[in-house]
Each structure stands twice: as C-alpha cells, then as structure tokens.
Structure 1
C-alpha cells in the first residue's frame, strides 16, 4: 500500500512520500504501521471532531490560521522521529499536503497525506461531509 503511494507520488512529482485514502490510513494505524497526526486547529478538533488516539500537531493556529513555526519540531517529538511512518489529516487534505511537504523538507522520509481529510471535498451546495473524507467513510471519530 505505501509502496504504491510512493510510486504514484513520484509519478506526480509530489515533494513528500505520497497520498493514502482514509481507509488505508486507518488500516495502517490499526496495524501499528503508522501514526496518525491531525494537523487541524484545536478549535476544529473540538467543534468538528477528531480521530480517537490520534496525535495533534497544528499546522496553523487560531481563527487567523497563523502558521505554526514549531510544526516540524513538534511533529518530530510527537511522532517519534523523522523516520516514523506518519499519516497527516486535516479538514480536506489541503493543509495536510502543505504539512507533508514541510515535513519532507525537514527530513521526514515516510510522511503521507490522507486524501480528502476529515470532512471530504465540497459538494454542489458548497458543503463538506457528503462526499469522501474520514467521517463519510464511517471511520472512528469522536467529538468533545
């Protein structure tokens, strides 16, 4: 699964290891082959929900979405080093792609983006949660 993601990433010219589906990410985490890191804000996790036992390292913070200047250092500390297999999750897969790129530039060799994120892509009514994403696939999540 990860080898295929790497091959596809190389073919697409991605600057990080690859993209995995939410289902594949969960399978990897359940098998102990990856750690899941949620890069959304604290507010998003609180009000929208999050994956139980996921790690949290915000890519950006607050309503202004200010970039977290300590992101890669915090990721390294929480994930267990730059050689850990890490799958990154955000709302839609866009911020986690930026976070994956930054992590790869910082020396992480096995960092993957979760396609469609936690809530999925926008639908025809400009709403999320109706097409793709972690929750849409009925994967485990909780809300405070």
Structure 2
C-alpha cells in the first residue's frame, strides 16, 4: 500500500538555472535572509524581494511569524518565485511554508547566495556608504 504524503515536494534548482529563469523574466527572486544580510549583497535583480524568514533578536535568530503574511501582501499564489537565502537551508524551510500555503510555482535555490557569489553571478549591494565631509 502506498502512503500519500501531505508534505509538498520542494524542488531545488542550482544557481545557474535560477539565473536563467530570472533573466528571462519568468520568475521573481525572494531573498529570505535578514535585512542586514540582504543589504550587504544580494542577487542583482531590480524586483528582488527581501522578506526575512528569520529575524535577528537579542536571543539570536528567531523565526519571523509574519513571514507568510508579508509574502502574501506582495505576491499572489500564482506568482513564480525563486526562494534564496545564504546557503539554501532557510530558503528550503520558507519554500515549504509557501507550498503548504498554496503557492504553485516556487523553487528553492540550492547553495543560496554563497553559491551565487562563488559562480560569479551578478550581485548588488544596498549598504550605505559613509558621507565624506568636505
């Protein structure tokens, strides 16, 4: 007897496949790292979203209980998303939450931002540069 799993299947793609889908404009990138990590450097796409799966707190990182609601405020369940984080762990958890919530077209980006950088793919930063006093 075959058992039916209620767990959605997380499909993980590598950074090259992610880059191709993003460049074609077929998918939007959802970075689930902290805001600080995102500002230091992220996948270079104008419409990349940053909605942290984990938040920095005095006791360390804690799960963002508003994550799903924040995603739903900016995306609909038919949107095509590639979810990434630093190494691919948080994004797998986030992808699972989105799939369970009914999102239909979501990929996890394996290796995360670290793999993206290692493969010399385009990076953007939002880090503020100090103003020079004249």
- TM-score range (shorter-chain normalised) is 0.7 to 0.9
Aligned to 1:74: 70
Aligned to 1:140: 122
Q: Does the 8 Å CA contact 2:10/2:92 hold for their aligned counterparts?
A: no
The alignment partner of 1:91 has SS state of coil
Q: Tell me, which stretches of 5 or more residues in structure 1 are unaligned? A: 1-12, 120-132
> What is the distance in 2 between the residues matched to 1:106 and 1:14?
11
Q: Which runs of 4+ in 1 moved over 3 A?
A: none
Q: Which structure 2 residues correspond to residues 1-144 of structure 1 after superposition, within 5 A?
A: 15-47=8-40, 49-52=41-44, 53=46, 54-62=48-56, 64-78=60-74, 80-119=75-114, 133-143=115-125, 144=127
> Which is bigger in relative contact order (C-alpha 8 A, separation at least 6)?
2
User: What CA RMSD, in Å, does the superposition of the two structures yield over aligned residues?
Assistant: 1.7
> What is the distance in 1 between the residues matched to 2:113 and 2:88?
8
Q: Does the 8 Å CA contact 1:36/1:55 hold for their aligned counterparts?
A: yes
**Count of aligned positions:** 117
> What is the distance in 1 between the residues matched to 2:79 and 2:85?
19
Q: Tell me, which stretches of 5 or more residues in structure 2 are unaligned? A: 1-5, 128-134
